[in-house]
Amino acid sequence: MQLQVLGKRGINMTELQTDNSNMLLCSNCFEDEGLRIDADKIGHESLDECPNCKSKIGKKLSKDLIRGLAWRFFVSGTTIRCNYGAAPVIQTNEHHYGKSNICPSPWLENDIKLIEDTARIGFFHYGPRLWMVGEVEPLKDLQSESKREAIIQRVIQEYPERSIPRGTKFYRLRVNPKRPAEPMEYDSPPVEFSGNGRLDSSDLSVMYGSQDIDVCIHECRASINDDIYVATLKTSQDLRFLDLTHVLEEDGTEFESLDMAIHMLFLAKSHSYEISRAIVKAAEKAGFDGVIYPSFFSLVITGGHPFETSYGLSLRRYHPERERYSDTYTIKNLALFGFPLRSELVKVASINRLVITHVGYQGHFGPVEY
């Protein structure tokens, strides 16, 4: 597979180069409806007759496009999220050509044969390397109350400090505020409402913000029925942040990686909040004004695939352009400690009502059994 690295948000790094000259199948070749729709999305428009099913209107697929379709449907489409990490149930490669051993639904049997014979690949049940499903030592230590503190101290020491200069703009969104025109409504929530989020706790209030309004809408889980307001905030002095989105340079494997532990922590659901709250409390104690942290919605917003690998190696660690790779798939959010408006670390520059007119989901299909 040839990787095309694009520094642009929302572009799939595994998007394949297309070769127009040699079309082998078309979207109408497939019996599985999901596969047919996915093929229709990536295929090329052409009125040439399909060499397989003779359709003129089906979107045409070259060998590379068929391989891309196979990866999206069978690998991405069978990826299962665990408490920490995620892994596909099926993998595909050329070494398994002629040796496929998956058990698909009857309506997929012929589709798979077509894909195998044109793309020269096979499908097999994938036993993931265990780091992909959270067997990462520093992550296991973070889950143990007795070992957590030592790892948190490493986080504070090994992650870099970022200075955010005075006058930096970011957004904070409120859903159904009582007095939307009142600037103090946009400060951190009062202590009695604190402690429900990823980073705030009953003894540390946190103001969440982002430089991207779309991200704010995702993070607030806002919907069309909500009355939404967005405050534009500006920092009134230089502020010190601990940057948890940084890609750490490390020796050793994924199993020992602190970078992988923190990466998985911020993509995990609410069972992980106890750990992320402990990290930000330590950052506050160490004198930081806040943290820069990766959004839980990073992959949904950028279209990335969780914990992507090539032959079992993490692309986040081994991609030739790893920093650029991880930047492409990371949305950076801000969390400021305490009550930044009350303490005048930030000021409200303006407030707007936000009208949501469109909520969109994009996706692709996968098999139901294998």
The whole-angstrom separation of Cα 129 and Cα 312 is 6
Cβ 60 to Zn ion, closest distance in Å?
8
Helix (H) or strand (E) holding 74: none
Of 55 and 232, CB closest to Zn ion = 55
Residues that bind Zn ion (CB under 5 A): 26, 28-29, 50, 52-53, 55, 58
Beta bridge partners of 206: 337
Q: Beta strand pairing status for 309-310 and 161-164?
A: unpaired
Cβ 36 to Zn ion, closest distance in Å?
10
Cβ 200 to Zn ion, closest distance in Å?
54
Of 62 and 210, CB closest to Zn ion = 62
Helix (H) or strand (E) holding 87: strand 86-88
The whole-angstrom separation of Cα 201 and Cα 205 is 6
Of 56 and 125, CB closest to Zn ion = 56
Cβ 68 to Zn ion, closest distance in Å?
17
Cβ 300 to Zn ion, closest distance in Å?
32
- Max Cα distance, the chain (Å): 70
E strands in 212-338: 228-235, 239-243, 290-294, 309-310, 313-314, 332-337
Of 46 and 168, CB closest to Zn ion = 46
Of 51 and 338, CB closest to Zn ion = 51
Task: Supply φ then ψ for residue 310, to 5 degrees.
Answer: -130, 115
Of 58 and 85, CB closest to Zn ion = 58
Closest CA to 158 of 251, 253, 258: 258
Of 53 and 175, CB closest to Zn ion = 53
Other beta carbons within 10 angstroms of residue 259's beta carbon come to: 22
Cβ 141 to Zn ion, closest distance in Å?
53
Helix (H) or strand (E) holding 39: helix 33-42
SS3 262: helix
Cβ 26 to Zn ion, closest distance in Å?
3
